[in-house]
Structure 1
Amino acid sequence: MIADKIKMLRNANNMTQSELARKLNITRSSVNAWEMGISIPSTTFIVELAQLFRVSTDYLLDLPTHNSIDISTLNETEISIVYSLIRYFHQSSGNQK
């Protein structure tokens, strides 16, 4: 739930509700309402929270995420190695089930 994520991230960053509210230019009671699940932040605040806490909006919204890596700077040999490693790990995890 987004309420739990906001509270956890705020606490992990040693921030009070008042400090978070100040950074977002809102009231402390708004932050409290988010954390209590009484209200949810608008899209704008979800983006601001993600940027502030250096997490994705998908994380805040508890959406499934997919890991990815940028291989655009790799040469063909390096790309081949990366794909070989991925196949290896997929096969290894399939054998453990």
Structure 2
Amino acid sequence: MKLYPTPHTKYKESDNEWDEFIPADWDEKRVKDIFNLITDMASANNNFELLSLYASIGVRHRKEMEQRGNKAVTTDGYWIVKKGDIVVHKLLAWMGARAFRI
């Protein structure tokens, strides 16, 4: 069993500013060209549970977490998250606030 993948034999210059070189057989694509943004809104008076996304621990049910600050108490008008969805906190994405909903 290999612990590390075999290095690529050919590299090319990258168009992005954080990788100088990438494997020659890789294509560079924007995230929005790979994934679809799903914005299914929860209807009023629904039975969904409110979720929170944290950079350190991922998606959690709001009722499991400490209640501090001015927090929503209903999911009316919130986006619906389904099993298998990738969730990104739009204000905290730069610090890694994203998770995979299982």
Q: In which range does the TM-score fall when normalised by the shorter chain?
A: under 0.3
The normalised TM-score by structure 1 is 0.21
Higher strand share: 2
Q: Which has the higher helix share?
A: 1
TM-score, length-scaled by structure 2: 0.21
